Every structure is written in C-alpha cells, then in structure tokens.
A and B are shown apart, each in its own frame.
Chain A
Amino acid sequence: MLSSSPSAQVFAGATDVVPQIRGGRQAPEVLVDLKKIDQLVALTSDDKKWTVGAATPTVDLTENPGFSQEFPGISEAAGLIGSDQIQSRSSLGGNLCNGSPAADSVPAMMVNGTRALIAGPKGNRLVDVSEVVTGPGQTCLDSDEFIVEFEIDRAPSLTGDAYLRMIPRTEMDIAVVGAGARVTLGEDGTITAAALALGAVAPTVVRVTAAEEALIGTTADEDTLAVVAAAASEVCNPIDDKRGTIGYREQVAGVLAKRAVLIAMERAQQRNGNV
C-alpha cells in the first residue's frame, strides 16, 4: 500500500500527522493505518527482551506494571507525551519517526539500547534506534518502509533508567530540554555502564559519551556530576526558537543530565536481584 502512491504514508495515533495536515505542512494522498496489524500494537516479553509494537499506544506501556518497573525511564517518558488523550493514541513508532529532536521517548529508548525492526518490500532490517532519525523530520526509512516493532533487552539487575524534561508548564509542552540516563552498578556499587542522551538540544537526540566515560567506576559523586553536567552542556548544539534559547538549553542540559543520572543511580541501587 505504501508503494501505491509517492505521498502515501503510515500512521498510528496520527497525533502529529493530523496537525501537520491541518497546518498545510503535509498532504498525503493515502494514509495507511498501522494499528490494524496486530503485531504492531502488541506488547510482549520473554526472558531475553521486551517487544513493543511500533503502533502500540503509549498508555499500554505506562499501564503495564512489569514494563514500567523494569524501564521506568521509558515508561515515564512515554507518559509525558501530551495528555491522557494523546497517550491513548501516541506510540513509540510515531514519536520516533516524526523526527522531532524534542521527542520525549527517544532519549530513554536510546540509553536502553532499543532496536527498531524495519520492514519493507526488500525485506526486514534491525537497527539501533539511534540510527533511525537522521535530522529534524527525517528518518533513515525509505518511503515504502515502516517500523514494525522495537526490541529492548531485559535489564540486568542493578540497572536503572530515568527521563527528565524541562518544560515551562507542568504538562502539554514540547520539551525544551530532555535527558535520558541509564546506569548499571557493579557489586561494589560503582558504575560499570552508563548511557546519557539529550533531546531538544541538537538536530537529533545526542549521546554524551564524555559524560558516560566519566561516570564509569564512580558513584556519581558531586565532582563527577560536575563533569557530567559540563559534558552535557558542551555536546549541545541547540537553536534559539519560541521554546528556548541556546544559552538556556545549554545550561539546563547540564542540570537535567545530573538529575537524571542521580535518579537512574537510585533506581539501580534498588533493583538488586528484583527483575
């Protein structure tokens, strides 16, 4: 169906598609409803990984106690997309493929090493979620491809994730800065693995590798966190727009990076043998 027309496109919840059509930014001739395919609205797990359909409504994630306990960061991020009304319809696939640098679910998905299964007439391919969005509003998908589902490996014990965002109100705003963090602790309580990703501060979501490296072997003490914050501010490449200024985004990226890492740490400490 996607091949039937050059302006054909898929949709799940259409929560971005409809405003874009109304605003004249898009005019597809054919819209394909992915929710009609069962696999794309599923949410399952086995002992290796969780599989989330690309069109699964985010409310299914936030209301799934197992998923939310294991990946509170992704769950909370999904729960921050819009309102309850939006979450009945919004999906990880839509949030990702809309290609907004400010998408709430992407930093959390990224730090958890999420993979996207892409299907098309030429076959399937599995890519890390960090490779999907190539620029604002742009993805690596061909016009006749779509994401089927996401895979997230089961979280090892002593691992925790978190997502924080800065918005001027308490809800209903697009993130001015978003920070996703994940840490894994060793038996001695120091960090053995760390991932930190920032949204809304660059054309695509960015990893802060300098911060990740700095955290290894530490307990996220104050000095390390200062390095984390500075690295986060440094990696930003934001714009001035109606939601935030360059200076503000750089400064607050550092603040949220620290706070997200601390929450991830706390969660990692609690997940000791509880899966």
Chain B
Amino acid sequence: MALTEENPGYKWVGTRPIRPDGLDKVTGKAQFGADLTLPGMLFGKVVRSPHAHARILSIDTSAAESMLGVKAVITGSDFPDLAANGAHASDIDVANNAIARDKVLYEGHVVAAVAATTRELAEAAAKAVEVSYEILPHVLTVDEAMADNAPLLHENMITKGVDPAPDQPSNVASRIVHERGDLEQGFGEADVVIEREFTTKPVHQGYIEPHAAVADANNDGRANIWCSSQGHFAMRAYTATVLGVSQGTLKVTAAEIGGGFGGKTVIYLEPLAVRLSQRSGRPVKLVMDRDEVFRATGPTSGTRIKVKMGISNGGELTAAEVWMAFEAGAYAGSPVGAAGMTVIAAYDIPHFLVEGYDVVCNKPRVAAYRAPGAPMAAFAVESVLDELARSIDMDPIEVRLANAAVEGTQASYGPKFPRIGFVETLEAIKEHPNYTAELGPNQGRGVAAGFWFNAGMNSSATVHVNENGTATVVTGSPDIGGSRQSMALMAAEELGIPYESIKPVVADTETVGFNDVTGGSRVTLATGAAVVDACRLVIEDLRARAAKTWDVEIDQVEWVDGQAQHVDGSQPPLSLNALAAKSGRTGGPISANASLNARGVGAGFSTQLCDVEVDPETGVTRVVRYLTAQDAGRAISPDYVEGQMQGGVVQGIGWGLNEEYIHDENGAMENPSFLDYRMPVASDLPMIECSIVEVPNPAHPYGVRGVGEVGIVPPMAALANAIKDATGVRLTDLPMTPIKVLEALNEQSD
C-alpha cells in the first residue's frame, strides 16, 4: 500500500507473514503477567487510601498479621526514606507514589499491602488493616489547583521555569515556553483571528490486562521479578530505587503484556511484591483488579487549553498563541512539555507564543498515554484551524497544505525538519474516494492532522547463528505491538535467509544488554537498528570465515541472498547453513552484539478523515466512515503498521466521544469500571481504512519512522470538526457526549 517511493525490491521487509508469537496467543499458551504460578506462591492484596488528600495518623496491622494464612504485612515504613537519603527529587516521587509515607495524595494511593495463602484470605486481611487519617482539603482540576489559596499537595513546590522564581509555594510544578517572532505583528497581519478555550478530562490508557507481578525473593537480597511491562530494564531500575538496593540484585523477566500504551512504563506493584516476598520468604503474586487500575494508576492529564490563531484571506497562518495547563496528578510530570513542543509543530507559523503549566492535583499520578500531551493540544489547534478555514471559505486540506511543515522548516520546538511526509499524508486523504463520498442527512465530515516526534533512545540486540543455519535474534524490548515480527523481518532481509528461520526472543535483564522502554514509537527504529547492526557484524564474521575457508582476502567475499560468494565466482558459494555447520573449525560459534543510542529518528505525521452521523433529537454521534493516512517511512510489517494506525484512531474516538474520569466532591472516582468508563466496542465503529504513506527516513537503514503513537493525535479534532459539519455546533469540551451535543443543539435553536 505504499503511496510514495517504489518498494526497492525487498524480499521480507514489507510482507505480511504470521507473527512469531501468534500461535501461543491464539491457543491460550502465552504467559501474561498474571498467568505464572510458582510453588508455595502467596497472593498479595494492596490497601489503598479512600481519601483524595489526607495525613496518615496511624496504621495498625496487628489484626491483619494475626489472621489465618497471612504471611506478611508491609507499610511505608518498610521502605527506605529516599528524601532523608538525599535522593533526586524524581526518585523520591517514584518512591512515595509506590507507597505513601506521611500523606496520601489521591484516592487509591497505596498505604499497605498483605500476602496470604489464598486470594480470599488476602482480601480479608487487607480489610483488617486499620488506618486512621486526618482528611485534608483537596483539589481536583487545574482550575482548583491554580486558584489563590488552594490547598497544597507539596509544601515546598516552587514553580520552575518562572523568572524571578515565586517566593510562595503553589501547585504549579513548572512552566514551559516556546516563542518566535512578534505576536502583535503577527495578529496584525491576519485578516481573521479566532480565539477559543478547550477543556479535556483525564482518560485512561485502558489496557485490558490489569497490572500484575510475581516476585520471588531469596534471603541473600536477590529477587526475581516476573511482570508485564513495557520495559523490564526500567522496571528493574525503578524497583531498585524504591527498595533502596542495587539494580544488579534484581532480575526482571518480561511476561507477555496485555496492552500498555505508555501506562506500563512505570512501576506500581513490583516493589511491593518483592518486599512481601522478602518478609514472607515465599513467592508473591500481586494483581490489580480493574477498580484499582482506574483508581490508582496514571491516566493522562485533564487540561485547559486556550488557542488564538490568525490567518490571512489567502490562507496563510500568521500567528498563534497557546496557553495550556495540564493536570500532573499527585506528583510533577504531566506531558505539558511534549504538548508545548507538538502543538503547532506541524505548521510553519512565523510568530508564536506557547506557554504551558504542569499542575499537581489530588488524582493518581499521570502516566504516559500514546503521544503524551499531543492529542489534547491537537484537539485545540486543529479545531481552531478548522474554524479559520471555514471563515475564509477554504478547504480544510488546502489550508493545511498551505501551511504544512516541510523539509527545511524550522520546527516550533527548535530543530530544522529533515525529510518528512506531512504533505504526502494530506494528499493521500485528498486523493482518496472517501474525501468526496456522498454524505446523508445528519451526517458531516471532519479533517484533522497530527504530529509526533517519535523517539530513539537506547537498545541492544544479539544475533546468534545456530548450528543448523537458523538464527536467534535476542532483544530486550517487550513486544506490545508485534515488534518481534519486525525484528525477524529485518534480520531475514539482512542475513538473506527465510523469515521462518529467524527466532526473535525478548530476553530478561540478565541475558541481554540494556534497553530503554518500549514506547515513544521507537522499537522498530532503534531496536531494529541494533538488530540490523548486529546482523551486519554477523555478516562480516561470515565473510571472514568464508575467506578463511577459501584462503582468500575478505574483500573477495560478498554476502548475497544468504550465501558467501566469491566476487569472481571461482568458488562454489557457501550457504549460512554450511558456514554454521563448520563454525567450530573457522573460529567458534557465530554471534554478535550491538548496542546503540539511536540517531536519525524520523518524525511521524498523520492526517485523518472522519464522517459522523448525529441524531439531532438525542445528540448521539456515530462514526460512519474513517480514513487515516500516516507516514510510516517504510512499513516493515504492513499488517502491524495498520494495526497501530487503527488502534490509535479508535482510542482517539473513545477519548473524543465518551471516555472520561468522573469524580465526586470527595475526590473519589465514580466510574472505575468498564461499564461506566466507556471505551469503544465493536458495534460502535466502522472499518478503519488505512493509507500507509512511505516517505523513507533517510537516516535509518530501512527508512523506518515510528508508527505507534501519532495515530491517536488527530481523532478528537476530526470528530469535533465532523460534528460541526453535521450540526453547526462547535464543541470545545471533551468528551463530546450526547448530553453535551444535545445541549449545544438546544442552544443553537434558541
């Protein structure tokens, strides 16, 4: 499905074979985090705060400890006080989020944990832990947290990024700014200026697998941890920090992971499971139930965003002013920084000011969610851009083409863009039959675009050639989207042997070199690059062995289609099988390692087209047609590139129409279940059509650009623009529920 650049005749890259881990997943054999059982294993249960903000006055574990079957009970006092040890502020936050010390900062905050011989006994013991609290006033939104005299979560929080620094603490952790040019001049040059304010609610990544960990501690201080995570090296590092031990004492094995989307790049249960295992002397399994996942794990931020943009009658954007406040939850660290970098990055705007605030509030600490920060920012800007286009009667694709960032554009966040494919995604939409498909009554069409920088970061890979000429490719990137297949495809392409001869493996922290988390759309790029480097080292080695066998110089040997060939054909070729079979005689086993910090990351762009039908009497919105065009650079695995595109779109649809955290006035979550936290179901959706655009990333051996994230950036604005087209009403508050749509329709007809 490539739209640009011919497929250069790859044999494996770009094909659609069956993924290597697929068989185990369709037969129920695959082991996810909660599927492991060890002999003597205990069940753990966490005790959590029912209050949004409170001081812990006392914890009485005596009743729990004396109950039948209870083998361990732990509280915050069982963990080192990192603040007292002079640790880094961010480490202190990780440790305090893992288990509360003197204060609880959100409903669901861990206060204690127990381990017992059965689930039922563990649940009973958890209920028997007596905690007394002094309830404190709380703040739930950026508005409440930023208000004068708002109760403070952290007494010492002085806003960073403000000069001069404030002399009073507040709930504002930091401020970011990007600016260029002269706003007054820019707005002066505009023929139309539109200003709007937007609000969004926290939404959860919604992975179907709740967090799970099994820990098995020895009494020499070492522990084995089995958990589903997006990065077992990161789990090892964070867990070691919280426990106050060296990383080398922990071995972490990545279970299969049932969805992450960023939410499993952080720890929750791991340090608790290890400590319970240490105290009880037995393995401990800790699994969250769905209620706990909602109440106590990071959703992404709720936000307030103000956007003011100006456009000339000819369609040129002249200026943009953006103000954003993002909820960080209980500890600093919302994705407002990334939001600030991405909000107008897709466009070439000469004058702008982007300002963002990271604000703490009494909710669970936010965790990354697929292109963190960018979707909310895009909802705002792409909605305003739609209105600007309408005001000058310009087609929504044309207005974006007129202002699109291209190669050489200086991005709003600093660097000059290398070759990018934004324009190509816009054209892919424009040329698609969906763009002109007929719309029925009460139907409307919306366009929106999105940008995500993608990441590089660190990866390691090892390639072993087995005695029979097959190869094992070992990496440390947990596979959340099908990356094992991509690794195998690239290795097959490099080595010139069949895809089925490659066995890709995700190894534990003791068996492979360091890998940063699976996130940031980086695995195909960075871990792929490491795999490619390792394969090329293997090929060097194979050429050397052939040269030795033929008694020639290595420059006489080429590697073609899985065989060593003499440049002038004077020797019969040596296949990988043959070289592997006699590797002992030519220097020993054949394998190579590669580790790198990936450079040459390619930015990702997505343009999407959404058709909706709105019932004018009930406000119910249905998506009737959806098309997404995304630049993948090179689609190593088209099946799974499409999968990432479609998955991102549907999460965005849920975010736009129905998903939200609802809290009561005490700061307790009212809808911590899939019944009332409404994610899209199969009957809510049409097929999601994909147009894979390939503008190869010149800096990657296969031209790869990350694809995992950018797909979630445009949908909310695409929906808002479609609803506007269908009904004439502009919604600026997410989610765009039937109640809000009907209210807006009622107002419109008044």
Contacts and interface: CB of A to CB of B under 8 A. Distances in A.
Is chain B a partner of chain A in the same complex?
Answer: yes
Interface of A: 19, 22-23, 166, 168-174, 176, 242-245, 247-248, 251-252, 255
B684 A243 contact: no
B742 A242 contact: no
B678 A255 contact: no
B657 A168 contact: yes
A173 B678 contact: yes
Interface of B: 289, 291, 617-618, 620, 622, 657-658, 662, 670-671, 673-676, 678, 680-681, 683-684, 737-739, 742-743, 746
Given A168-B657, A169-B658, 9 more contacts: A22-B289, A166-B738, A170-B622, A170-B683, A242-B662, A244-B739, A248-B739, A252-B617, A252-B618
Contacts of A170: 622, 681, 683-684
B676 A242 contact: yes
B65 to A, nearest CB: 22
A242 B671 contact: yes
B618 A166 contact: yes
A171 B681 contact: yes
5 smallest beta-carbon distances between A and B, as pairs: A170-B683, A255-B617, A248-B739, A242-B662, A242-B670
Contacts of A23: 291
Interface of chain B, helix or strand or loop or mixed?
Answer: loop
A259 to B, nearest CB: 8
B683 A171 contact: yes
13 contacts: A19-B673, A23-B291, A166-B738, A169-B658, A169-B683, A171-B684, A173-B675, A173-B678, A242-B670, A248-B739, A248-B742, A252-B617, A255-B618
Q: Which of B289, B618, B683, B742 has the most CB of A within 10 A?
A: B618
Given A242-B662, A248-B742, A172 B620 contact: no
A52 to B, nearest CB: 26
Nearest to B739: A248
Contact of B680 (A169, A243, A244, A255): A169
B681 A168 contact: no
B675 A172 contact: yes
B412 to A, nearest CB: 36
Given A242-B662, A242-B670, A255-B617, A168 B676 contact: no
A76 to B, nearest CB: 15
A176 B676 CA distance: 12
Contacts of B618: 166, 252, 255
Contacts of A247: 743
Contact of B620 (A19, A166, A243, A245): A166
B684 A245 contact: no
A19 B737 CA distance: 26
Given A168-B737, A170-B681, A172-B681, A243 B676 contact: yes
B247 to A, nearest CB: 38
Nearest to B616: A255
Contacts of B291: 23
B671 A245 contact: no
A253 to B, nearest CB: 11
A186 B184 CA distance: 74
Q: Which of A169, A174, A245 has the most CB of B within 10 A?
A: A169
Nearest to A248: B739
A173 B620 CA distance: 13
Nearest to A173: B678
